[in-house]
Amino acid sequence: MFTGLVEGAGRIARISPRGPDAVLVVSPPWPLAEAVLGESVAVNGACLTVTQVLGEGFCVDVSAESLNRTTLGRLKPGAMVNLERALRLGDRLGGHLVSGHVDCVGTIREIKTLGGSTRIWIAIPAPHLGLVVEKGSVTVDGVSLTVNQVGADGFGLNIIPHTLAATTLQLAKEGDSVNIETDLIGKYVARLLNRDEGQPPAKGGLSREDLVRMGF
């Protein structure tokens, strides 16, 4: 579990294909002595497991599923990535609950500067757009952000200077692909509202019959 508060930007030191899978060697912004075998690290928002620690960084195995469902398969050696180690019990939850399970890949359609902030518009596949709500939370490349606006094909964000400087969003360009994770709680709520156990998905939300069937 993560918060979407990026600890810093790391660098991809090496990429080694393993058939349909791959091994990434990541140089983190924290001392390598702090790396723990088996710990979870969010790399651009994707939860990966540390399998080995080398002189140049820590290793993570990336399955074909993760390579296909995220932007990790498009990384090149030298690329900068957002990194966050897993949340510890008792830590402050400054962002929002992030699982590190990427839902889809979005595309940056527009970047504008407004005052000291940066406005970004991201288009995402229609099936996932219903889980993005105005003033709700969304994770973009592992960064917890607040949605400012939702449109027909995507959503808008306002990035403050601190967030821009502390993450790889400072390198973002129009046309770039980014990992998107919609709000974890929202996904479970949507699932419960649209499918009761043993029943087909509801098309119009909750009805009186749905509430009676669930004991209300």
Measured CA to CA in angstroms, residue 122 lies from 56, 157, 203 at distances of 34, 8, 27
For residue 66, how many C-alpha atoms fall within 13 Å in the half-sphere facing its CB? 20
Q: Kindly report the CATH number assigned to the domain that includes residue 169.
A: 2.40.30.20
Q: Would residue 93 count as lying in a domain?
A: no
- Is residue 1 included in any domain, yes or no? no
Same domain, 25 and 73: yes
Answer whether residue 209 is part of any domain: no
Question: Measured between alpha carbons, how far is 18 from 193 in angstroms, rounded to an integer?
Answer: 41
What pLDDT shows up at residue 48?
98
185 and 126 co-located in one domain: yes
How many domains does the structure of the chain reveal?
2
Q: How many CA atoms within 13 Å lie on the side-chain side of 215?
A: 2
pLDDT means per 10 residues in the chain (216 residues)?
95 96 97 95 98 96 96 97 91 87 97 95 95 96 97 97 96 98 90 59 60 71
Q: Are residues 79 and 21 in the same domain?
A: yes
pTM > 0.75: yes or no: yes
Domain shared by 132 and 68, yes or no: no
**Alpha helix stretches (DSSP H) within the chain:** 64-69, 126-129, 161-166, 184-194, 208-213
The residues that bridge with 114 in the sheet, in sequence order, are 117
Beta bridge partners of 52: 59
**pLDDT at residue 198 in the model:** 46
Please report whether residue 161 resides in a domain.
yes
Cβ within 8 Å of residue 40, ≥6 positions away: 47, 48, 49, 50, 85, 86, 100
Do the domain assignments include residue 179?
A: yes
What pLDDT score does 206 carry? 61
Same domain, 185 and 110: yes
Nearest CA to 170 out of 211, 214, 118 is that of 118
Domain shared by 114 and 184, yes or no: yes
Determine the structural domain holding residue 24 and report its residue range: 8-85
pLDDT score of 121:
98
Q: Phi and psi of 206, rounded to 5°?
A: -85, 135
